[in-house]
Amino acid sequence: MNTVYEIEYNALKGTVEEISNRVDDLVEKVSSFGGNRPGIDFDYIKYALKQIEEKSHELESETLRFLVEHRPKDSDLRSVLVLARLGSKFAEIGLTIGSLVDEFEASHPFNKLLSKITGLMREVFGEFNNGIIDEDFDSDLLTSKICEIQNLIHSWYGDFSVELGRHQISPEHVVNYVRYASSLEQTGRLLKAVVTDLVYMITGSYDSSSCACMVLALE
């Protein structure tokens, strides 16, 4: 029979799973647009972001209540705080993806690359779910996917710089693409933070070789 402590701790993990699933669904939806702005369901995007935000606030309040009522030992305390941080980072990534959607320009080939990036993010979130819930953690695969995302982001920057230098980007679009770049950079940083926390959840250490590899890949 599980204790109240175990039940409530597992409930916190369940809330993290729900948040990550919602972000996963959002990334999948964004990826399916394929740069087709007229086909974007903005009502769905707004609804999904609101749900992610509400669940993240719920996780935060439940974590604080858990800390007050159960006063977990040091090792469990760190795990609970990591769970809360994961929820927060998932929500931030969701908002970043939302800002990317707002800047879609269907006519520009950069959107194909952006669509590929969001598709890879969807795969990465699937691995996050495995690591958090099932402890089926393939660090090599996850590292590879995140490195690929980071390389695509760098490629996007390079293409943008070349096109800008050739004056192939109209002035009215420059601001949009600079905002694209900023959002992609932010997403990369958030992915790095989530991976660092996830490695701790699985290994109990922030100094594991897998974590170091991932952090270096995202510098």
User: Are 16 and 104 spatial neighbours (Cβ–Cβ below 8 Å)?
Assistant: no
Tokens of 71: 């006063």
> Alpha-carbon distance 196 to 62, whole Å?
22
pLDDT for the residue numbered 17: 75
| Domain CATH code at residue 58 | 1.20.58.220
pLDDT for the residue numbered 148: 74
What is the separation of C-alpha 48 from the centre of its chain, rounded to a whole number of angstroms?
Answer: 14
DSSP conformation letters of 153-193: HHHHHHHHHHHHHTT-S-HHHHHHHHHHHHHHHHHHHHHHH
pLDDT for the residue numbered 173: 61
Total number of domains constituting the chain:
1
pLDDT for the residue numbered 65: 77
Q: Which amino acid, one-letter code, is at 63?
A: T
Give the pTM. Answer: 0.49
User: Are 49 and 26 spatial neighbours (Cβ–Cβ below 8 Å)?
Assistant: yes
> Alpha-carbon distance 128 to 24, whole Å?
10
pLDDT for the residue numbered 15: 79
Sequence-separated (6 or more) residues with CB below 8 Å from residue 161: none
> Alpha-carbon distance 125 to 130, whole Å?
9
b/e per residue, 64-79, with b = 16+ CB within 10 A?
A: eebeeebebeeeeeeb
What residue numbers bound the domain in which 195 lies? 4-217
Please give the C-alpha separations between residue 56 and each of 18, 48, 196, in angstroms, as whole numbers: 10, 12, 19
pLDDT along the chain (219 residues), means of 10: 73 76 71 56 72 77 74 64 66 64 54 66 62 55 69 68 62 62 66 66 56 39
